[in-house]
Amino acid sequence: MGGYSLNLNKKANECLENNDYAKALEYLGEAVRLSKNVQSLNNLAWMYYSEEGEDEKALELIKEALSFNPKSYFPYNLLGEIYTKQEKWSLASDVLQKSISIHPSKEAFQNLAVAKYHLGELEEAADLFSLVVGDSDYNLFSYVQC
């Protein structure tokens, strides 16, 4: 079953590359039905969140993925992004710090900076924004504002 689930994830990725979102969603849903694991749940949650705009479905799936205590930072990043969008700053901060402890990523630093800003932890927010300034005027403005 596990190999078939991986094959479905691969097919879903191919569909995404071809902008066939409906078929990708179908494959990812089937992968979860066949084998509920971190990868299948994370991929379907990402699809619901990023492509379908269904935050609550994504939230339910990603929380289930985290019940497996994954070693991957991807599910933590996704949950942190959802919490950031929902303006649940404390929850976002906690989960993004977990993500960063597994593997630092620009997305996690960015979202954690936003959460820290809204929590009033401006010095920490500034430090985080400084890590991701790059070519982004938004990040530079946010850094300066903090």
Residue (of 57, 21, 17, 20) closest to 41 by Cα position: 57
Q: Residue 61 pLDDT > 90, yes or no? A: yes
Q: Residue 71 pLDDT > 70, yes or no? A: yes
Residue 143 has what pLDDT?
A: 56
Residue 9 has what pLDDT?
A: 83
CATH 3.40.50.300 fits 1-70, yes or no: no
In this prediction, residues 107-113 reach a mean pLDDT of 95
* Rounded Cα distance, 34 and 97, in Å: 32
Helical residues (DSSP H) of 18-73, grouped into ranges: 21-34, 38-46, 55-66
Fold agreement between 1-70 and 72-146: yes
- For domain 72-146, give the CATH number: 1.25.40.10
Both structure tokens of 137: 């005027």
Count of other CB atoms within 10 angstroms of residue 97: 15
Residue 32 has what pLDDT?
A: 94
Domain boundaries, the chain: 1-70, 72-146
Confidence of residue 1 (pLDDT cuts 50, 70, 90): very low
Q: Residue 139 pLDDT > 70, yes or no? A: no
